[in-house]
Amino acid sequence: MRAHQIMTRNVVTVTPETAIADAAATMLKHHISGLPVVDGTGQLVGIVSEGDFLRRFEIGTQRKRPNWLQFFLGPGREAKEFVQERGRKVGEVMTPEPVTVTEDTTLEDLVQTMEGHSVKRLPVMRGDQLVGIVTRANLLRAVAGLAREVPDPTADDDHIRERVTRALMATGWRPVGLQVTVRDGVVHLHGIIVDERSRQASIVAAENVSGVKEVHDHLCLVDTWSGYYVESPEDRASAG
């Protein structure tokens, strides 16, 4: 999937001259946490977000540092923070030259860009024109949509067992002596693991196979040094 398939198209924007209070009210009204900032010609010039409103004089959250620390930080830093805390217009507190993507940017590249630049939203550009915005919420909706169960005409028990087995055997943490049984789409995993983290990974791998309705864990954890073994939490609970 690409950015144009998940982005929000009707983007709510503000201008550098928009009052801080009006920008905050717009965010609340539209239930959004950030706004692209465009100039009079419609060109993207910045982005303003909730984070830009955290340190504000009006609510008493401005930074309060001792005088000796202010001396070491220098007048430039102090002046910049003063504008951030008391600026009246969006242009005074926004992040200029925001990181952007294009309509054809893949979801993988979107996530890498967000992580690499520590941002929660990315304006989507077509040349110099703002055509959309991708936020973490858009990615969450994409995950929810793709995760919906899609009917599989070959999702009978034999096919499911084969797919689950193949998925697990292709990993480096696969259970030793793996046995997979399936009945009416319900999977039971048997075998030995030597690291507790392999348990959840095995369950997740099985859950991702098309047609699987439920996964039961019967994997036994064995300590390679002592030979001590522990049954799965599910088996211990049923035995107790």
pLDDT of residue 109: 93
Look at residue 190 in the predicted model and tell me its pLDDT. 95
Q: At what angle do helices 197-207 and 157-169 cross, to 10 degrees?
A: 140
201 and 235 share a domain?
yes
- 143: Cβ contacts below 8 Å, ≥ 6 apart: none
Residues 14 and 92 in one domain: yes
pLDDT of residue 88: 83
Asked whether residue 61 falls in the same domain as residue 97, the answer is: yes
Gap between the Cα atoms of 206 and 165, Å rounded: 8
pLDDT of residue 232: 92
Domain contains 89: yes
Whether 182 and 123 map to the same domain: the answer is no
pLDDT at position 140, please? 86
Please provide residue 213's backbone torsions phi and psi, each rounded to the nearest 5 degrees: -100, -30
Tell me: do 36 and 61 sit in the same domain: yes
Residue 117 pLDDT? 93
Specify whether the CB–CB gap between 218 and 181 falls below 8 A. no
Domain identity same for 60 and 117 = yes
Integer angstrom CA distances of residue 12 from 54, 80, 148, 192: 21, 27, 29, 54
Give the residue from 116, 146, 176 where a domain finishes: 146
Judgement on whether residues 53 and 126 belong to the same structural domain of the protein: yes
| Regions in the chain scoring below 50 on pLDDT | none
Q: For the segment 164-214, what is each residue's pLDDT rounded down to a tens digit?
A: 999 999 999 999 999 999 999 999 999 999 999 999 999 999 999 988 999
Range of the domain at 59: 3-146
pLDDT of residue 199: 95
pLDDT value at residue 39: 93
Domain total in the chain: 2
CATH number at residue 185: 3.30.1340.30
Residue 151 falls inside a structural domain: no
Helical residues (DSSP H) of the chain, grouped into ranges: 3-6, 20-30, 67-73, 75-86, 90-93, 107-117, 136-147, 157-169, 197-207, 233-239
- The phi and psi torsions of 34 (rounded to 5 degrees) equal -160, 155
Helix axes 136-147, 107-117, angle to 10 degrees: 140
